[in-house]
Structure 1
Amino acid sequence: MWNPISVAAGNALYVLDDKLHPGGFEALRYEPRARDLSPFPPSPDWRWHCLPPPPYVLEPGYAPTSISAYTVVDDSEIWISTPGFGTYSFKIASGLWRKAGDWELPFRGRADYFPEYNLWLGFSSQDSMLCSSNLKAASVQSGPELLNKDWEDLHTHEGWISRRSFLVHLGFGKFCVARFFQTVENKASEAGDIHSQIDNFAVLTGLMLHHGGVNGDLRMIRHRSQLYRFRAMTSGWVF
């Protein structure tokens, strides 16, 4: 797989190729096996299983398209959104896909559910602002609505090119946002040649989510940020 995405749901790890194709959806499951009298050691209990892709992947003329957003609902369904195809839900128990609607999830990349707040948290599909959504209220005709749109944005400087963003839950209402950026500066040499100087760095920002106000509305409070520079930007990051 190239640039895969993954989610944990039920008792398995599910891995999907970012651009889905037949064979690009697998599950890693633990399957205990009974002892036998064979002199050979038993095979590993963790096994990979190839799963069917969404129906649109098998349609004639399908061109691999990147998944724009994904999440887990009720620990029993995996939802993915693909531009031009809408949102599909994979039911873990039955192993079948169903179309949730022509709309797309209002997130960019991964969204995670936090039961203590009964909310999904992630990044907006239109900007880098933290947002949340009640996915269970979505219908076939209309997708889920964004909530808490007035949360403070994580401001960036002009010229910063956003690469990837991650939301890391630290527990007790505390979060860390890890955002990776790049700047490109074109410089001319004495010979008149133009070369680009690329600077890669990450900004880590501490956030706290708590109930506040008269109505007990959720508030996201931003704390300090720290910038870290890198000599090179790797193709992937794990948090």
Structure 2
Amino acid sequence: MPPKRKSSEERGGAAKRPALQCTNKQHLYLLLDDWERGYSVRRLDVDAFEPDDAGADDLPPPERFTEPPVARIEAEAAEYESERNFVSHGTKIFAMQPGEASPAIPAFDASTLALSLCPWPFSYRQYPLPFFASAAGKLLAFTEFDAAYLGDQPPCGSKAPWSWTAIKARSPFYASQVRCYALHPDGRTLFVSAESLRSHRSGTFSLDTERLEWRRHGDWLLPFSGQAYFDAELEAWVGLCSERGDSAGHLCSCDVAPVAAEFTRPPSWKIGKEKLFRKNPQLHLGAKLVYMGRSNFCLVEFLLHKDDDHPSSDQPRRRVLDMTTFGLKYGKEGQLRTTLQRSRARKMYNRPHDYGGSLKPLAFWL
């Protein structure tokens, strides 16, 4: 008898729904705008992905999610760049702009599969293109005018409020102009690169999240798009290259900038040889790199469905998620290379509306 094929659930989807369990094992969490009132939360086991032939031209068709989501979060879709409104902090995913009518900000806890609420960070509830980051146990929030951090959630039974604290030091950049960011391996220093027409607000800056003080490091920008991650084995920050130029779709490793130095030279970096985005660039919407620890990563690429790529589909509603896991290492000549142990999964869903949304996947490793 031929060996029994894995079920769709074992490959990251499911025909049968097992009982949801709280587990210490980390998973890939996806937030999908497939619900008219907000987002559904999907949990995937990357160990169940299929082996990936990196050189294969024929891709398997994407599968639909057949299980109900593990949770749903009510939140309005922003007109653009909805990915800016979601951030992971600890074991939670926060929907930072659920809508002006919402009394509080919903947060999904991956460790308990529970939803909780936290207060709004500012007196106003509409802040276009904000910047959020998690560092040193603080959830940091930045708008064009204000900054604040969220402290620890009070223990169960406590009467103390869960509250935000204003950061007095004014951000040296505009939140809407943040291009990339990375946490220093010291665990307390957040590096941010921002680009602005005003020269004094362009460059790379660092925030000491304990002293809440900013430092300017120079007019240069880190070479990433979005979040980069420090990997101890590579001794470098790793992220997707800036989407400008021929490096789009490649990975980049960058030496860690020194914390104490001001007006330093830009750190050296290396661009990976392989282009990781799939072919058919006309279908590509965006991508996010997720760090899984120990030089292991998952690239989540956001695509239009190939059958929606025609003139009559003004605002196609089908979205495809192409997910590939891989390891990274330096080759004999010091070049950044992916390892051969790659796996993948392809999923598809329908959006209930044609407006707003994200051009980058909302993916988190928790």
* Equivalent residue, structure 2, for 1:237: 362
Whole-Å Cα distance in 2 between the matches of residues 196 and 157 of structure 1? 21
Unmatched 5+ stretches in structure 2: 1-126, 197-201
- Is 1:66 the counterpart of 2:190? The answer is no
Secondary structure of residue in 2 paired with 1:53: coil
Whole-Å Cα distance in 2 between the matches of residues 4 and 140 of structure 1? 26
Select which of 238, 252, 277 maps to 1:121. Answer: 238
User: What whole-Å deviation, never above 9, does each CA across 1:87-125 have from its counterpart, x for those lacking one?
Assistant: 111112321112111111110000111223321111001
Structure with the bigger RCO (C-alpha within 8 Å, sep 6+) is 2
Select which of 157, 162, 176 maps to 2:285. Answer: 162
- Is 1:49 the counterpart of 2:173? The answer is no
Aligned letter for 2:231? F
* Equivalent residue, structure 1, for 2:151: 29
Aligned letter for 1:72? L
Whole-Å Cα distance in 2 between the matches of residues 88 and 154 of structure 1? 29
Aligned residues: 214
Whole-Å Cα distance in 2 between the matches of residues 93 and 134 of structure 1? 23
Whole-Å Cα distance in 2 between the matches of residues 173 and 81 of structure 1? 23
Q: Percent identity?
A: 22
Tell me, yes or no, if the aligned pair for 2:130 and 2:144 is still in contact at 8 Å.
no
What's the TM-score once normalised by structure 1's chain length? 0.74
Whole-Å Cα distance in 2 between the matches of residues 26 and 175 of structure 1? 30
* Equivalent residue, structure 2, for 1:225: 344
Distance change >3 Å, CA 109–CA 150, structure 1 → 2: closer
Secondary structure of residue in 1 paired with 2:151: strand
- Is 1:132 the counterpart of 2:261? The answer is no
Tell me, yes or no, if the aligned pair for 1:86 and 1:102 is still in contact at 8 Å.
yes
Select the structure that is richer in strand. Answer: 1
Tell me, yes or no, if the aligned pair for 1:131 and 1:151 is still in contact at 8 Å.
no
Whole-Å Cα distance in 2 between the matches of residues 42 and 153 of structure 1? 52
Tell me, yes or no, if the aligned pair for 1:65 and 1:83 is still in contact at 8 Å.
no
> Cα offset for 1:216?
8.1
Tell me, yes or no, if the aligned pair for 1:163 and 1:182 is still in contact at 8 Å.
no
> Cα offset for 1:206?
1.6
Aligned letter for 2:253? S
Secondary structure of residue in 1 paired with 2:289: strand
Mapping of residues 1-239 of structure 1, within 5 Å = 1-2=127-128, 4-16=130-142, 20-23=143-146, 25-30=147-152, 42-44=159-161, 46-51=162-167, 52-56=169-173, 65-73=176-184, 74-84=186-196, 85-125=202-242, 126=244, 127-136=248-257, 140-147=263-270, 149-158=271-280, 159-169=282-292, 171-182=293-304, 185-187=309-311, 195=314, 197-210=316-329, 213=332, 219-222=337-340, 223-232=342-351, 234-235=357-358, 237-239=362-364
> Cα offset for 1:69?
0.6
